[in-house]
């Protein structure tokens, strides 16, 4: 029968259907259903039943069927069995393809979601091993070294070797190794036996096997291509096993290891491509991250170059604030029970701290670096003016003395003139010393304030005879600053750096996980009672991260050794000041308690 060659006909023992011999067909007695050869057809007499596992391949033969009808009945039955087998194969293939599609889809999602490079590489190898029952796997990435292409062993796994086989070494992209050959050719390689490779291809596994007492047999090596179809590395699987959990030894390799199948190749090539793109994306993200970190550091450098006296401030505030945030993560009780900062939020906080003072680039330099109350050069002008006044006084008394001598007055008159000259010169010197003292960024004593007001109302006469105040209005305004070095207008301009920072940071197209950076930086000078600046926010209007930064910012400003306009205070004094502000409702008392009790400040205090 040409329609179904190779079929085996079976009958139940001793019960050959009538008329079968006339058809010229021979049947075998069915003794053990487990031992029949496929494809098979079981012929039954009326009333007989085939074993359960063979019912789909059995037909009942009518007792009165003609020879021709019997032959046709058997032929059709054979074709039906063939069709059933084909349907079963198609269903199995469809099921396999569907499972493979689901698996590839799951893998693709996982590859896209994983951010840690080590976990990503491990996931790639583990997945490939599970899908192919491979005992070992290794991931190789292409790199350039001194102008030569090489492959770097990025990760490896082996189920049957207890000790860690991972060694970061490199091989050239050439035909001396299987992985190098695969990458250089850009084509996948299947070896049934690595020690007996196809003609013209390199041996595989011998050096590894000699080192670890292993036997590499079947091998599948697949190039990894990125989205540009460039070969960027390779994945190598070794020793496909009958049972995935079996641990191989040199003795059981022959029985347990099987060849990788063409279906394996198709699937692994697909995963390898997804993996290459995932690694490419990860490397691209890391490059972008490195680029942005460089930009942030350059921005901090720009701030510090404009105001060298605060060099290192942004970095110290970042270290204090992120340490405080991580400590809050660890507490998990009380007010901070539900507070947890993710890695992305900690990174967001880090950038906000590093860039919180960037707006100082928009503040005029003479205000930004103003170490004394007078602007640079003003004190020298006053000193020159007082030197002129002193010379004028000397000339005035010299003229008076000359006239007295011409009038031949007695010596007592001359002595009186010298006394008044000395008094006026001494007074000028006292005033000048008072001005120098008033120029310092300390709290203004009342007597100094009265002296400055007196001098602003006194005049001297220049060479042309025109009268001028001994202290110009602007000089008097600056020297009258009660505390610090900035007058109200200058202080407003200095405080505007927060707004400048916010406007600058809002120009950056932050990712969704970093979008809070501008708002965090914007709030670092706000106080809980609404007395801060620039927006007078209060309470919960201020982000928790900004409240953390405020504590760190104040502590570092108080303890910094490099501020020319003020003396540094001790850590304990700084903490006392912070406690006083917290008791006044200006700072977050709970955060300050963590800052103090967990000694967050200690690394900064030891600088």
| Least confidently predicted of 21-30, 172-181, 539-548 | 21-30
Alpha helices in 226-342 (DSSP H): 253-256, 262-306, 313-331
- Residue 138 gets which letter from DSSP? E
**Mean pLDDT for the stretch of residues 67-85:** 86
User: What values do phi and psi take at 448, rounded to 5?
Assistant: -70, -40
The pLDDT of residue 409 is above 70: no
Residue 51, number of CB atoms within 10 A of its CB: 14
Alpha helices in 440-588 (DSSP H): 446-457, 473-479, 488-495, 497-506, 517-522, 544-559, 571-583
- Predicted local confidence at residue 166, as pLDDT: 63
Q: How does pLDDT run across 296-315, given as a tens digit for each residue? A: 888 888 888 777 767 788 99
- Predicted local confidence at residue 487, as pLDDT: 79
Task: Give the CATH class of 114-284.
Answer: alpha beta
**Cα distance between residue 532 and residue 546, in whole Å:** 12
**Mean pLDDT for the stretch of residues 565-585:** 88
Sheet (strand 8-12) strand order? 28-30, 8-12, 40-44, 58-60
The pLDDT of residue 57 is above 90: no
Radius of gyration of the chain (CA): 46
333: confidence class by pLDDT, cuts 50, 70, 90: confident
**Cα distance between residue 487 and residue 473, in whole Å:** 13
Residue 247, number of CB atoms within 10 A of its CB: 12
How large is the angle between the packed helices 544-559 and 343-354, nearest 10 degrees?
40
Q: Return the top range by mean pLDDT from 54-58, 168-172, 297-301, 517-521.
A: 517-521
Tokens encoding 266: 């198709």
**ω into 39 cis (within 30 of 0):** yes
Nearest to 167 by CA among 217, 218, 207: 207
Q: CA distances (Å), 542 to each of 47, 318, 522, 527, in order?
A: 89, 18, 9, 8
**Cα distance between residue 490 and residue 79, in whole Å:** 99
42: β partners: 10, 58
**Cα distance between residue 35 and residue 32, in whole Å:** 5
Q: How does pLDDT run across 37-55, given as a tens digit for each residue? A: 888 888 888 888 888 888 8
Q: Where are the domains of the chain?
A: 8-90, 114-284, 307-366+494-605, 378-484
Q: CA distances (Å), 324 to each of 15, 185, 244, in order?
A: 90, 54, 48
The pLDDT of residue 322 is above 70: yes
Q: How does pLDDT run across 251-268, given as a tens digit for each residue? A: 999 999 999 988 888 888
- Predicted local confidence at residue 4, as pLDDT: 46
The pLDDT of residue 31 is above 70: yes
- Predicted local confidence at residue 1, as pLDDT: 39
Q: CA distances (Å), 246 to each of 123, 159, 214, in order?
A: 20, 9, 14
Q: How does pLDDT run across 124-160, given as a tens digit for each residue? A: 888 889 888 999 999 999 988 888 899 999 889 999 9
The pLDDT of residue 483 is above 70: yes
Angle at 418 between CA 415 and CA 420, to 5 degrees: 110
| Least confidently predicted of 321-335, 458-472, 479-493, 508-522 | 479-493
**Cα distance between residue 440 and residue 458, in whole Å:** 23
Q: CA distances (Å), 308 to each of 233, 244, 371, 400, 606, in order?
A: 48, 64, 12, 53, 21
**Cα distance between residue 366 and residue 91, in whole Å:** 82
Nearest to 570 by CA among 548, 534, 536, 601: 601
459: β partners: 469
Q: Which 3 state secondary structure label does DSSP give 200?
A: coil
Calculate the dihedral angle through the C-alpha atoms of 445, 448, 454, 455, rounding to the nearest 10 degrees.
-150
**pTM, to two decimals:** 0.63
**Cα distance between residue 442 and residue 438, in whole Å:** 8
**Mean pLDDT for the stretch of residues 279-294:** 82
User: What values do phi and psi take at 219, rounded to 5?
Assistant: -150, 135
Tokens 């590859």, residue located:
111
Q: How does pLDDT run across 204-257, given as a tens digit for each residue? A: 988 889 888 999 999 999 998 887 888 989 999 999 999 999 999 999 999 999
Q: Which 3 state secondary structure label does DSSP give 286?
A: helix
Contacts made by residues 472-477, CB under 8 angstroms, sequence distance 24+: 474/378, 475/374, 475/378, 475/382, 476/452
* CA 217 remoteness from chain centre: 41
Tokens encoding 189: 């390689």
Are the beta carbons of 221 and 182 closer than 8 angstroms? yes
552: confidence class by pLDDT, cuts 50, 70, 90: very high
Task: For the chain, give the mean pLDDT.
Answer: 86
467-469 and 148-158 strand pairing = unpaired
150: β partners: 143, 172
Domain 307-366+494-605 has CATH 1.10.3210.10: yes
- Predicted local confidence at residue 239, as pLDDT: 95
């Amino acid at each position: 029968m040409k329609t179904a060659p190779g079929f085996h006909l079976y009958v139940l023992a001793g019960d050959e259907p009538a008329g079968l011999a006339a058809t010229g067909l021979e049947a075998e007695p069915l003794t053990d259903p487990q031992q029949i050869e496929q494809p098979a057809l079981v012929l039954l007499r009326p009333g007989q039943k085939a074993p359960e596992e063979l019912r789909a391949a059995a037909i009942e033969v009518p007792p009165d069927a003609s020879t021709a009808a019997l032959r046709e009945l058997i032929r059709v039955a054979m074709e039906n069995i063939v069709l059933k087998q084909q349907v079963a194969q198609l269903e199995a293939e469809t099921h396999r393809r569907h499972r493979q599609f689901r698996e590839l889809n799951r893998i693709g999602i996982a590859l896209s979601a994983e951010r840690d490079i080590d976990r990503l590489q491990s996931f790639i190898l583990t997945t490939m091993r599970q899908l192919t029952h491979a005992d070992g796997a290794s991931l190789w990435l292409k790199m350039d070294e001194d102008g030569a292409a090489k492959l770097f062993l990025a990760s490896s796994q082996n189920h049957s070797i207890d000790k860690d086989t991972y060694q970061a070494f490199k091989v050239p992209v050439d035909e001396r190794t299987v992985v190098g050959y695969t990458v250089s050719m850009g084509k996948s390689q299947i070896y049934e036996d690595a020690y007996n490779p196809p003609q013209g291809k390199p041996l595989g596994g011998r050096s590894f096997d000699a080192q670890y007492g292993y036997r590499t047999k079947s091998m599948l090596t697949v190039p990894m291509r990125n989205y540009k179809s460039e070969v960027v590395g390779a994945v190598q699987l070794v020793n496909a096993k009958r049972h995935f959990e079996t641990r191989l030894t040199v003795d059981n390799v022959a029985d347990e290891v099987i060849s990788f199948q063409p279906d394996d190749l198709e699937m692994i090539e697909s995963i390898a491509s997804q993996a290459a793109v995932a690694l490419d994306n990860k490397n691209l993200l890391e490059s972008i991250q490195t680029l942005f970190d460089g930009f942030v550091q350059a921005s901090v450098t720009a701030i510090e170059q404009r105001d060298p006296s605060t060099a290192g401030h942004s970095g110290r505030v970042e270290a204090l604030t992120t340490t405080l945030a991580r400590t809050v993560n660890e507490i998990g009780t009380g007010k901070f029970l539900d507070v947890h900062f993710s890695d992305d939020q900690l990174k967001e906080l880090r950038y906000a701290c590093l860039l919180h003072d960037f707006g100082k680039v928009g503040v005029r330099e003479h205000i930004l670096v103003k170490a004394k109350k007078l602007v640079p050069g003003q004190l020298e002008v006053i000193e020159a003016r007082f030197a002129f006044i002193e010379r004028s006084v000397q000339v005035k008394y010299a003229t008076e003395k000359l006239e007295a001598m011409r009038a031949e007055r007695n010596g007592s008159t001359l002595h009186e003139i010298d006394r008044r000259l000395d008094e006026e010169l001494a007074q000028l010197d006292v005033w000048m010393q008072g001005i120098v003292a008033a120029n310092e960024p300390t709290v203004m004593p009342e007597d100094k304030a009265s002296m400055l007001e007196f001098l602003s109302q006194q005049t001297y006469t220049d060479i042309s005879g025109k009268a001028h105040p001994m202290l110009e209005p602007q000089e008097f305004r600056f020297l009258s600053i009660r505390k610090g070095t900035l007058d109200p207008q200058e202080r407003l301009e200095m405080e505007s750096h927060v707004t400048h920072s916010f406007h600058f940071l809002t120009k950056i197209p932050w990712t969704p996980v970093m979008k809070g950076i501008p708002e965090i930086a914007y709030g670092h000078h706000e106080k809980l009672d609404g007395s801060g600046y620039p927006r007078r926010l209060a309470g919960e209007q201020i982000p928790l991260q900004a409240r953390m930064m405020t504590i760190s910012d104040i502590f570092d400003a108080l303890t910094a050794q490099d501020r020319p306009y003020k003396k540094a205070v001790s850590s304990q004094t700084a903490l006392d000041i912070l406690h006083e502000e917290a008791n006044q409702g200006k700072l977050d008392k709970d955060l300050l308690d963590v800052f103090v009790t967990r000694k967050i400040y200690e690394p900064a205090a030891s600088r």
